Amino acid sequence: MEFAKYLIDFTVYAVLGLGISWYFFYFRRLDLFGGFIGAAVVALIGAILGAFLLQNVLQKVIEFLQRGFFISNVNVIAALLGGIVSILLLSKINDGKRRQDY
């Protein structure tokens, strides 16, 4: 049962990371290192780090906001913040270049 809980948590992080990378790569059309897959990996790592780092800092705010956003043991708001910040940092490393249409 413990393994299933961790698997569900990782799946939630992966979906959040893919959603964030899709938004920045296809909708905002940012040129990111590694393309969509690289952005997905960075967003996944950022979502996991953000959830762990921001969970204690924003505990009261997260508890208030998560009444409708709590999925398994994942702080969705903290994971989203972490994923977005990591993609924005990746974009800044690449000087915020836009992708060109070919």
Q: Which domain holds residue 62?
A: 31-102
pLDDT band at 52 (very low <50, low <70, confident <90, very high): confident
7 vs 59, higher pLDDT: 7
72 vs 25, higher pLDDT: 25
* Distance separating alpha carbons of residues 90 and 102, to the nearest angstrom: 23
Residue 16 resides in a domain: no
pLDDT of residue 63: 67
User: Is 96's pLDDT higher than 70?
Assistant: no
For residues 76, 82, 20, 44, the Cα torsion angle rounded to the nearest 10 degrees is -90
State whether the Cα torsion 74-21-18-33 is positive or negative: negative
- If residue 51 lies in a helix (H) or strand (E), which one and from where to where? helix 35-57
Residue 3 resides in a domain: no
User: Is 68's pLDDT higher than 60?
Assistant: no
Total domain count for the chain? 1
Residue 15 resides in a domain: no
Residue 66 resides in a domain: yes
Token representation of residue 2:
């413990």
Give, as one character, the DSSP assignment of residue 30.
B
pLDDT of residue 100: 64
The answer to whether residues 45 and 55 touch, using CB atoms and an 8 Å cutoff, is no
Residue 20 resides in a domain: no
Residue 6 resides in a domain: no
Residue 56 resides in a domain: yes
